[in-house]
Chains A and B, each alone.
Chain A
Amino acid sequence: MTASDLRSKNDFRLSKQQKMQLDIKIKHKGLILVAVPLLFELVFLAVLSGLLRQAEYKTWQEMHSKTVVYESGALSRLFHDAGIAMGGYALTKSPLFRERFDSIVSSIPREFKHMKKLVGRNPSQKDSLKRLETYTNSGLKLLSSARDAIEIGGEGISRVRSLYSEMKGVSKNISTELDNLTSESRKIEEDGPSARKQSDQLVRIFLAVGVLFNIGLTFVLSYFFSNGITKRLFVLTDNANRLARDEKLSEPIKGTDEIAQLDTVFHNMADALAEASRKERAIVENAADVICSIDSDNRFTKISPACRKLWGYEPSELIGTRYLNLVISDDVEDAAIATRALRQGQQTASFETRTYRKDRSIVTVLWSAFWSPSENSMFCVAHDITERKLIEEALKESERRVRSIIENTLVSLIVIDRFGMIELVNPQTEKSFGYPAEAVLDQNIGILFPQFMAAEDNFIEDLFAQASGRIADLEMMRADGELFPVEFSLSQLETNEGTRYIANILDVSERQEFEKLKREFVSTVSHELRTPLTSIRGSLTLLNTGMLGSLNEKGERMVSIAERNTIRLINLINDILDVERLASGRVEMQFDNTDLSSIVERSVESVRSFADQHSVKIEAEASESKVYADSDRIIQVVINLLSNAVKFSPKDSTVTLAVKEEADWVEIRVIDRGRGIPEKYKALVFERFQQVEVSDAKRKGGTGLGLAICKGIIEQHKGTIGVESEEGKGSTFWFRLPKALEAEAVTA
C-alpha cells in the first residue's frame, strides 16, 4: 500500500468521523463537558439528600412511635394507679392514699395533654384522640366522684363501688382508644430497624451507582469531545505537514467551529500560498533574467530556464558546475572578491562580469546577489547588459566627442537659464573673455556686455528677443574691458532642470579684420588694375580706330585681340567686385517702387544691338506691374539673363521676356529656344564660375559669374531665382520680386 493510499484511507476515516461530529463550537463543547456532569452531580446530590432525609424521618418516626407507646402506657397506668389509690383510700381512708390519688389524678390531664401533643398532628388519629379525651374526662370525673363518695363514707362506699365499676368501663374504653392510638406507632416501632436498614442500603446503592455513572458520563463526554477536537486537530496538523511537503491538503473540515474555521483559513492560506508559489514559479520560469542559487562551493544548485537564452546552456548542463567557469579570466577575480564579501557578512552585492556563452561569444552580465546564511547559498539574478554596455560605451564615446568638441571649439559656449544666469562655460569662453570659469559662473551673462554694465533696462529680455534662434551681430566685453564684435545666438535646450539656453558666441573680430583686409585688397587691386587697364584699353581702342595711323593687317588684328581681351579682363574684374560685394552684403540697394515696364525697356534696349549681332529677336510683354526694387540692379539682372539667352539662342530665333503677376510678387521670365541645360547642371548654373560647358567661356564669352551675381542681387531683394529647361528645347530663367509696397505702407 502506497503512502498516498494510506493518506486516502486516512482522509476517508477522517471525513467519516467528521460526519459524526455535532456541529457545535469548541467553547460550547467545553461548556457541555463541564455542565452535564455538574448537572448530574446536582441531581445526584438532590436525590441523595432526599434519601437521607427519608431515612432520618423514618428514624424519627420510630422514636416518635416509641414515645407515643410509652406515653399511652403512662396514661393507662395513671388511671390504673388512680384506681388502686382510690381503692386503698376507700379501704383505709389513709391520707397517704388520698394524696397519692390526688397526685395521680392531677397528672392525668397533663399526661393527656402530652399525648395529645404527640399524636395531635396525625389527622387519622383525631377521632380516636377526641374519644380518648372524652373518656379521660369521664374517667377523671368518675375518679373525682369516687373520691368524694369515699370521703362522705357510708352510702358513699356503695357508690364508690358503682363508680368503680363505671371506672372499669371507662378504663377499658381508654385502653381501647390508647391501643388504637398506639397501634400504628407500635407497627412503626416494630418495622423501624428493617426500614432503617433498607433505607441505608438504598442510599449506599444510589451513592455507588451515582458515582459510577458520573465517572462514566465524564469519560463518555470527554471521549466524545476530545475525539471531536483532537481528530480535527490531527487533520489540521496533517494539513500543515502536507503544506510543508507541498502536497494537496485534505478535504476541508466540516462544521462551523473554531477548528473548522481555522481549517478554512488554513485552506485559504494554502490556496494563496499555492497561487503565490505558482506566480513565483511563473515569474522565475518566464523571467528574461537568469535566476539561480549558488552554493558555498560556487556551484549552481538551481537555475531558471533563461540560462538557455543568456548562455546557450540547458539548466541541467549548468547545475553542479561552478559559475566562475562562465566568467572570463580577466573578471574572475572581481567576481570572486564580490562572492567572498557576501559570505563574510555583506548581505547583498552587485557586480558585472563578462561571461562566455556556450558558443564562446562574450556576454556582459550584471549579477545581483543575495547571501542567505541559513541556506549557505547565494541567490542571484543575472541580467544581460551587453547591449546596455555597448550603448553606454557609445554614449561615453559620444560624450567624449561632444566634450572634446565643446572644449576645443573656437566658439564660446555659455549655458544660461531664462534669467541669463550662467551655469556652464567652455574653455573657449574663458580664453575669449579672459575670465576664469568660476568668476562668471552664477553671474548674469550681462556682465559680458557693455550695455549691461551701463545698467540698461530690459537688457536680458532684449538679448533673448534679438538672438533667440538667430545670429545677432553684437559687441561684447572682455575682462579687461576691451570690446570685440561677436556673432551671438541663443538656442533653447530642454533639460531635466527646465529650459536652458546655449549662447553660441563667435568672436568675429579676426574675421572682420580679415574681411576688412580682403575688402581693402579687392578694392586696391581693383583700383590698381583699373588704372592701368584704363590706359591699355583706351590706347588699344584709339589704335583700333585708325586715328593714330594705320597698322598692317596683322597689326590691326593683334590690337583687336588685345582690346577684346582687355575688355574681357575689365568685365571679369567688375564681376568679381560685384560678386564679392554681394557676398559680403556690402552692395547698397536703392529700393523704391519701380515700374517694371521701364526696367524691361531699358534692359531690352541695352541688349538690342547685341541681339542684332546674333540675329536674335527680343520680344517683351507689356506690363503695368510695379516692383519694390533697386531698378539699376534689376536691370543688371535682366540684361544678364537676356544676354545669356541671346548668346545661346540659334540664329533667327526669338527670346521672349514675359511677366507674370501674382498677389505678392511679380515673376519675370526670360525664355530662349537654345540648347537647354542638362538636368545635372541646373543646380550649378547659379554657382560662381559654373558654365554648362567649359568651352562656353571661350566661345560665348562671359566670366561665369553673371548668374551668381543675378542670384545675389535677387536674394538681396528677398526674391527667388530659378531655371526651367529641357535639353534641346530651350531654357526659361525666371526670378520673382516682391510687388511694390502699398501707398500707406510706403508712407508709414
Chain B
Amino acid sequence: MKILIIDDEEDIRYVCGSSLELIGGVDVIEADGGHRGIELAETEKPDAILLDMIMPDMDGSATITALKKNPETASIPVIFLTTRTLSLDFARMKSLGAAGWVVKPFDPLTITDQIKEIINK
C-alpha cells in the first residue's frame, strides 16, 4: 500500500510518514505542496492521498480539485489531513470529492487503520 502525503509542514510529513511506515507498514511518498503532490500522484499512482487543507501557493481545495479533474488521479481516494473540525468544513470537503478526513492531531497508532477504513468504505 502506498500513500502520498501532501503537506507544507515537514514535521507533519515526517511524523505522519513514520507512523504509517512504522505502525501501518505502508509505503509513503511526500510532497511539500499541491503542485508537487499532483505531479507525484500522476507518476506514483498512490492508493490514497493524505492532503493538508491549508497550504501556501496551492491549498487543499485547489489541489483536490485539480486531482479530481485529472483522469490520471481522479480515482485516487483523497483524505484530508485537517485541523478543521466543523461539520461545515467536513461538508465542504465532501463536496470537493474527499473520501474522508483525519483530524490533526492524529493518533500515530491508529491513523493507518483510519485511512484503511476510509478507503474501504
Contacting pair A538 B22 (CB below 8 A): no
| A534 close to B86 (CB less than 8 A) | no
Does A586 count as interface, using CB distance less than 8 angstroms? yes
Interface of A is mostly: helix
Name which residue of chain A comes closest to B85, CB basis.
A577
Binding site for A on B (CB under 8 A): 9, 11-12, 14-16, 18-19, 22-23, 54, 83-88, 104-109
- Minimal beta-carbon separation of A709 from chain B (angstroms): 13
Chain B residues with CB below 8 A from A536, complex form:
105
| Smallest beta-carbon distance A544→chain B, Å | 9
In the complex, 22 of the A-B residue pairs with CB atoms within 8 angstroms, ordered by the A residue number, are A527-B83, A531-B9, A531-B104, A533-B105, A534-B15, A534-B105, A534-B106, A535-B9, A535-B12, A537-B105, A537-B106, A537-B108, A538-B18, A538-B106, A541-B108, A542-B22, A548-B18, A566-B105, A574-B85, A587-B86, A587-B87, A588-B86
* Residues in A529-555 with C-beta less than 8 Å from chain B: 530-539, 541-542, 545, 547-548
Residue in A534, A537, A545, A574 whose Cβ sees the most chain B Cβ within 10 Å: A534
A522 and B104 alpha carbons, distance in the complex (Å): 15
Option from B11, B22, B54, B84 in Cβ contact (under 8 Å) with A545:
B22
B7 shortest CB reach to chain A, Å: 9
In the complex, what distance in Å separates the CA atom of A329 from the CA atom of B16?
A: 93
- Binary CB contact string for chain A from 244 to 281 against chain B (1 if under 8 A, 0 otherwise): 00000000000000000000000000000000000000
The 3 closest A-B pairs by CB, nearest first: A538-B15, A534-B105, A535-B11
The minimal Cβ–Cβ distance linking A591 to chain B, given in whole angstroms, is 11
Contact with A538, one of B16, B54, B83 (Cβ below 8 angstroms): B16
* A-chain residues with CB within 8 Å of residue B15 when the two chains form the complex: 534-535, 538-539, 542
A458 at the binding interface (Cβ < 8 Å): no
A717 at the interface (CB under 8 A from B): no
Find out whether the CB atom of A588 lies under 8 angstroms from the CB atom of B87: yes
Q: How far is the CA of A574 from the CA of B105 in the complex (A)?
A: 10
Given A527-B54, A531-B12, A545-B109: A538 in contact with B86 (beta carbons within 8 A) = no
Of chain B, the residue at the smallest CB distance from A529 is B83
Question: Least Cβ distance of A74 to chain B in Å?
Answer: 180
Residue A625 is within 8 A (CB to CB) of chain B in the complex: no
Give the distance in Å from the alpha carbon of A590 to the alpha carbon of B105 in the complex.
Answer: 24
Asked if A288 is an interface residue, CB under 8 A from chain B, the answer is: no
Total count of chain A residues near the partner, CB < 8 A: 27
Query: Is the CB–CB distance between B108 and A538 below 8 Å?
Result: yes
CA distance A175 to B86 in the complex (A): 187
Residue A157 CB within 8 A of the other chain: no
Distance (Å) between the CB of A545 and the closest chain B CB? Answer: 7
Chain B residues with Cβ below 8 Å from A532 are 11
Residues of B within 8 A of A614 (CB): none
The distance from the CB of B118 to the nearest CB of chain A, in whole angstroms, is 16
Mark A552-567 against chain B: 1 for CB-CB distance below 8 A, else 0: 0000000000000010
Please name the residue on chain B nearest to A528 by beta carbon: B83
Shortest distance from the beta carbon of B29 to any chain A beta carbon, whole Å: 18
The answer on a CB contact under 8 Å between A570 and B22 is no
Name B91's closest neighbour in chain A (CB-CB): A588
- Establish whether residues A542 and B108, one from each chain, have CB atoms under 8 Å apart when the complex forms: yes
Is B12 a contact of A534 with CB atoms below 8 Å?
A: yes
Contacts of B54 in A (CB 8 A): 527
Residues of A within 8 A of B87 (CB): 587-590
Residues from chain B with Cβ under 8 Å of A574 in the complex: 85
Residue A173 CB within 8 A of the other chain: no
Report if A526 contacts B (CB, 8 A).
Answer: yes
A542–B19 CB distance below 8 A = yes
Residues of A within 8 A of B16 (CB): 534, 538
